[in-house]
Amino acid sequence: MSRAIIPGSFDPMTLGHKQVIAAAAEIFDEVVVLVMHNDMTKYVKDAKVKEYAFDTDARVHIARLTCADIPNVRVETRGGLLIDAFDEFEGSAIVKGIRNEQDFAYEQIHAAWNLAHNPRAHTLYLPADPAYAHVSSTLARERLAKGEDLSDILAPEALAWIIR
């Protein structure tokens, strides 16, 4: 069985994320969306502590609502290193969505590190649909803080749960 691991903080998961997940679900037998808690302070001196708008349980719930209609997707959460979770879930590949050249350059650094520390942890890049190339979790959080409409970038079920 082929299994894609799609890691991210998903704070919150957007329709752009969902598009990449759905594309991976067409390629792999199973997709594990891995909601991660990025605490680089454990690994990098002077790293900035990442603050989340949504706690881990909320991010997992939003991801599950967003992906509920994709049958071969499951949402899990883990702390620690992606390369360890990759082995735990018996991944075939790490899948990352790429919106632009900056995303690619950033993800290349992580992919090289992952592969250097786990020779099975190859990364596959899937391009974002141009309709979602501008969409990010940061944009979602900014628009949410301003009380703006998010129906074009968040799944309806997730949006209903967030604004309840």
User: pLDDT digits over 11-58, tens only?
Assistant: 999 999 999 999 999 999 999 999 998 765 565 666 666 789 999 999
**For residue 95, is pLDDT > 80?**
yes
Q: What is the pLDDT of residue 42?
A: 60
Kindly give the residue spans of alpha helices, DSSP state H, lying in 49-149: 56-67, 82-88, 101-117, 137-145
C-beta atoms surrounding 147 within 10 Å: 8
What is the value of pTM for the model shown?
A: 0.92
Number of compact structural domains in the chain: 1
- 38 or 63, which is more confident: 63
C-alpha 26/C-alpha 39 separation (Å) is: 31
In the chain the first and final C-alpha atoms are separated, in Å, by 39
Instruction: Tell me the pLDDT of the chain averaged across its residues.
Output: 93
Q: What is the pLDDT of residue 80?
A: 86
**For residue 140, is pLDDT > 70?**
yes
Q: What is the pLDDT of residue 164?
A: 84
Q: State which residues form the domain around 72.
A: 3-162
The alpha carbon of residue 137 and the mean position of all alpha carbons in its chain are separated, in whole angstroms, by 10
CATH number at residue 138: 3.40.50.620
Q: What is the pLDDT of residue 111?
A: 97
C-beta atoms surrounding 27 within 10 Å: 14
| Secondary-structure percent of the chain, ordered helix, strand, coil, rounded to 5 | 45, 20, 40
